[in-house]
Structure 1
Amino acid sequence: MALLPRATLGAEPAKWEASFADGKIACVVVPQPGGAIPEILSPALTIAMKTTLEHLEPPPEQTTLTIYLEPPPPFYKRMRALFRVEAYARQSGDDIHVQPGQDPLKLTFRLGHELSHWLTLKTLGQRPPLWLDEGLANWLGAEAAATRARTLRQELKRPIPAGMEKHLFTLDELTSLKGYPRKPLALGAFYWQAEALARAIHRRLGDKEFQTYLRLLSQPQAPDWREPLRERWYFSDGDFAWLAGQIQPSSLPQ
């Protein structure tokens, strides 16, 4: 679905709108003051939203998501951070603040990632455990970026973070984390392993049952992550050993 321009009054920049999920989600894109909405945003947002809605239920009531476009950080901040900002997004409530950059795949990934956080919280009312929240967001962001890559006849490349092997978590460590690791390599390992675990559980359960699992772990008094897998889906010790193997780089095809 393409974004549609909406006329505004006065000196305000033109806003663009789109609707998804049979009108349950209204999305408003607000450019920078005096700025324009870049062409790469419309397909990135459309693909990211549709990908997210393929795996997550829409909100129970009609809602509005506002996306604010922001300029990239000043040059000195990029130098201090030791990386070039190509696409960045952060979600807060019903707002997502985006620095679009110029890379359509990275923009689509970031939008898919933040839309997963937003839709999970909006639909379930509470975030699941950290590993599941971030693992699901990374997975859906990657799915969206892969779809965008196909439309551009490109290949999405996601190499394993260099040096991650020395910072890997065990299955128990990963699922027990309450906060983000502070060391960059450990943080990279966390995101990679959380995504691998979310993908592996989904592979065993399928879309519908995975959504049930997500709801169970997003309750105020959520059970331990293993409990519903054992009691509802009859996971054995062998199944959990398989999951432990799936979060190791050695599980990837050679």
Structure 2
Amino acid sequence: MALTVHQFPCLSDNYGFLIRDEASGLAATVDTPDAKAILAELDKTGWRLALILNTHWHPDHAGGNAEIQAATGAKIVGPAEVRKIAPLDREVADGDTVELGETRFSVMEVGGHTLGHVAYHDAADAIAFVGDTLFALGCGRMFEGQPDQMWASLQRLAALPDETTVYCAHEYTAANARFALSVDSDPALAARARDIFAARERGEPTVPTRIGLEKQTNPFLRAPLLAPALGVRGVADHEAFAAVRAAKDSFKG
């Protein structure tokens, strides 16, 4: 199987993802942060859009659904919460599968940023589209969920094979690196942060990332190891995660 991913910046710090199943020629957009930008990239590629795959309901992820569907006829697929701002042609939840030609995506429940957030995992190509749950060196804010839910979601993603390529939806990595360095002195993180800062100076993206790299350096996946440095000891793993998330929410660096 072969899935081609076309990534491009849009809005202030989002990424758009157009994906194409090479066997069938069918394409999808993962979320719809900027309808005009997505339609322009479709024109450039000449791809035929069949699906809109929403990860969650926030306007910078589902706000372009109606305009893109009107222009392309693509079917909208996503969790039930997307109906807050847009219609759905197919509602999906944990354990469902979505097919784009010969590419099969497993739907994963990864709530916490929003309650119904999902990710799309293409095991054959070792690719996951994770929306705002996991970021390079970061994770999403808990606008709706609780720490135990978000921690469980991060652990589901961390359980994917280390070589899995992770497409997250925002270019937050330099800011995430500055926070990570404030709570973690691991040499692997320091080396990664140097590479990140240099890449951003050159105007290069830091997305995608990989599961193995995040397990090694992401402070939110390493929370049980880092919580003692924040004065938090003898707590459950999700409580350690909550302490690191709270530290990031108040971080001014």
**Pairwise same-fold verdict (TM > 0.5):** no
- Relative to total residues, which structure has the larger strand share, 1 or 2? 2
Higher relative contact order by CA 8 Å / sep ≥ 6: 1 or 2? Answer: 1
Higher helix share: 1
Higher-Rg member (1/2)? 1
